[in-house]
């Protein structure tokens, strides 16, 4: 018998090529007067363009956003927000910049306008994080959901193809874990499945033609649906693994997801038969875990933890940290089985139930 709970998040989305140009009128509608623009150092000049676009509504630019929101970066951003008397933030960038906007919303009650330029999907979730020394701490809070998200696919055109592929696989992970579950939620799964369909269709087209704006738009939509699924759904072993590698070993976020996803799907396959079958159908493959592994290979994404700076001697510690606290997962999580999974992922072997 079907049984589920569902609570929507307060999404407010404008989606379409060229919609960045609506930003000044949207700020006016929302009544903000002193926006602080956030970017990474790599996207500083795009942040300066935003300041120019919004004219007198721009109060300043903080261009030091970093992966996983280091506590020190958050403190520097808070100081600048005080100094320039910001009344909102505008995050222009990937998940790192969106993440800084969300942390400022949580800790300084600053409303955030998200303008995503990667396929991270963070703008659709209520999950925010701060990293203190080498431990990343995450929490869910509706207050971090952006007041407005402007999805302009043209902004993703500057994303290098290699990063676009792993970023898309990061989005795929958010959708996949919400279908390959033993507690399916039909509303969450419908968003997730449409996200998977869009991403699986669009990513190979972007790889073949990086300037294909229709494919970029479809991938951005897919990322949005995947983020929506993560925001209203749940996580398990896969996200725990990625969280530990990112927080403890400082691995690049999207690549870590791309490498581990096939293995975590295989790990849970026995307990999630219906869900993995639905993923296989949408992907047009026989086996979801292997299909994802092969897709990642076709897209040229890294497939081994050894490729992203992990040493074989790190695997014992990683398996121990992953299993030191209990968390929900369809299959029982044991240190021995996680260590076996990690060995396959380290070597870049095809996924197998361990
Ligand atoms: P990122 O934001 O760090 O981006 C990687 C690099 O690419 C950065 O230098 C960035 O400036 C650049 N970049 C992004 N878009 C670009 C574009 N269009 N053109 C040129 N350069 C561009 O990486 P990411 O993978 O997008 O985000 C990773 C972070 O997001 C991690 O900290 C992760 O934990 C977080 N995240 C959070 C959630 C959530 O729900 N809270 C979801 C997904 C990711």
Q: What is the pLDDT of residues 303-320, one digit of tens each?
A: 999 999 999 999 999 999
Interval 180-200 mean pLDDT: 96
Task: Calculate the average pLDDT of the chain.
Answer: 96
- Match 């609570």 to its residue by tokens: 7
First-to-last CA distance in the chain? 30
Look at residue 132 in the predicted model and tell me its pLDDT: 86
| Confidence band for 30, pLDDT divided at 50, 70 and 90 | very high
- Is-contact 38 50, C-beta < 8 A? no
Interval 143-150 mean pLDDT: 98
Interval 274-296 mean pLDDT: 98
Q: Is the CB of 233 under 6 A from ligand 1?
A: no
Whose alpha carbon is nearest atom 26 of ligand 1? 94
pTM flag (> 0.85): yes
User: Ligand 1 centre and the CA of 253: distance in Å?
Assistant: 8
Interval 158-180 mean pLDDT: 98
Residues 6+ apart with CB under 8 A from 305: 245, 251, 259, 260, 315, 342, 345, 346
Interval 94-98 mean pLDDT: 97
Q: Is the dihedral of CA 252, 253, 255, 260 positive or negative?
A: positive
pLDDT higher than threshold 90 for residue 246: no
Whose alpha carbon is nearest atom 22 of ligand 1? 159
Residues facing 135 on adjacent strands:
132
User: Ligand 1 centre and the CA of 339: distance in Å?
Assistant: 28
Look at residue 250 in the predicted model and tell me its pLDDT: 87
Interval 125-154 mean pLDDT: 93
Interval 242-248 mean pLDDT: 88
Query: Distance (Å, rounded) from C-alpha 53 to C-alpha 208?
Result: 33
Q: Is the CB of 42 under 6 A from ligand 1?
A: yes
The tokens for 310 are 């992990």
- Is-contact 66 121, C-beta < 8 A? no
- Nearest atom in ligand 1 to the alpha carbon of residue 231 is 40
| Confidence band for 259, pLDDT divided at 50, 70 and 90 | very high
Look at residue 51 in the predicted model and tell me its pLDDT: 98
Whose alpha carbon is nearest atom 2 of ligand 1? 94
- Nearest atom in ligand 1 to the alpha carbon of residue 102 is 41
Interval 159-163 mean pLDDT: 97
pLDDT higher than threshold 90 for residue 325: no
CB atoms within 10 A of CB 162: 14
Interval 171-193 mean pLDDT: 96
**Helix, strand, coil percentages, rounded to 5, for the chain:** 60, 10, 30
Mutational pocket test of ligand 1: of 71, 74, 95, 252, the residue with most ligand atoms within 8 Å of the beta carbon? 95
pLDDT higher than threshold 80 for residue 134: no
Residues facing 35 on adjacent strands:
58, 88
User: Ligand 1 centre and the CA of 223: distance in Å?
Assistant: 12
H or E stretch covering 116: strand 112-116
DSSP 41: G
Mutational pocket test of ligand 1: of 238, 253, 260, the residue with most ligand atoms within 8 Å of the beta carbon? 253
User: Ligand 1 centre and the CA of 254: distance in Å?
Assistant: 8
Q: Read out DSSP for 137-202?
A: EEEE-GGGS-SEEEE-GGGGTTS-HHHHHHHHHHHHHHHHTTTSSSS--HHHHHHHHHHHHHHHHH
pLDDT higher than threshold 80 for residue 341: yes
pLDDT higher than threshold 90 for residue 1: no
Least confident range from 42-46, 123-127, 243-247, 286-290: namely 243-247
Q: Read out DSSP for 76-102?
A: HHHHHHHHTT-SEEEEEESHHHHHHHH
Count of residues making up the chain = 354
The tokens for 64 are 């030091």
User: Ligand 1 centre and the CA of 273: distance in Å?
Assistant: 32
Share of the chain above pLDDT 90, in %: 93
Residues facing 140 on adjacent strands:
127
Mutational pocket test of ligand 1: of 93, 136, 159, 238, the residue with most ligand atoms within 8 Å of the beta carbon? 93
User: Ligand 1 centre and the CA of 228: distance in Å?
Assistant: 17
Look at residue 2 in the predicted model and tell me its pLDDT: 84
| Confidence band for 133, pLDDT divided at 50, 70 and 90 | confident
- Is-contact 206 219, C-beta < 8 A? yes
Interval 318-341 mean pLDDT: 96
Look at residue 78 in the predicted model and tell me its pLDDT: 98
H or E stretch covering 261: helix 253-268
Look at residue 202 in the predicted model and tell me its pLDDT: 98
């Amino acid at each position: 018998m079907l049984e589920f709970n569902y609570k929507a998040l307060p999404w407010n989305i404008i989606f379409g090529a060229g919609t960045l140009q609506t930003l000044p009128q949207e700020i006016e509608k929302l009544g903000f007067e002193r926006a602080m623009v956030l970017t990474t150092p790599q996207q500083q000049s795009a942040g300066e363009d935003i300041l120019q676009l919004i004219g007198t509504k721009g109060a300043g630019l903080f261009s030091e956003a970093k992966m996983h929101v280091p506590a020190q970066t958050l403190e520097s951003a808070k100081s600048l927000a005080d100094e320039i008397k910001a009344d909102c933030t505008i995050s222009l960038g990937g998940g790192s910049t969106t993440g800084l906007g969300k942390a400022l919303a949580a800790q300084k009650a600053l409303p955030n306008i998200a303008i995503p330029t990667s396929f991270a999907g963070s703008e659709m979730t209520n999950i925010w994080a701060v990293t203190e020394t080498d431990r990343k701490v995450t929490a869910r809070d509706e207050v971090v959901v952006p007041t407005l998200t402007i999805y302009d696919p043209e902004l993703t055109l500057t994303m290098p193809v290699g990063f676009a592929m792993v970023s898309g696989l990061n989005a795929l992970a958010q959708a996949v874990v919400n279908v390959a579950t033993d507690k399916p939620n039909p509303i969450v799964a419908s968003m997730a499945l449409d996200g998977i369909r869009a991403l699986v269709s669009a990513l190979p087209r972007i790889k073949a033609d990086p300037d294909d704006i229709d494919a970029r738009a479809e991938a951005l939509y897919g990322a949005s649906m995947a983020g929506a699924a993560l925001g209203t759904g749940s996580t398990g072993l896969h996200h725990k693994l990625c969280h530990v590698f990112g927080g403890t070993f400082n691995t690049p976020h999207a690549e870590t997801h791309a490498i581990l996803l096939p293995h975590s799907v295989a790990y849970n396959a026995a307990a999630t038969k219906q869900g993995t079958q639905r993923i296989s159908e949408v992907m047009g493959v026989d086996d979801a875990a292997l299909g994802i592994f092969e897709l990642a290979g076709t897209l040229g994404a890294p497939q081994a933890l050894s490729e992203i700076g992990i040493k074989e001697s790190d695997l014992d510690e990683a398996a121990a940290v992953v299993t030191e606290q209990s968390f929900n997962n369809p299959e029982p999580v044991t240190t021995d089985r996680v260590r076996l999974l990690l060995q396959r992922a380290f070597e870049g072997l095809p996924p197998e139930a361990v």
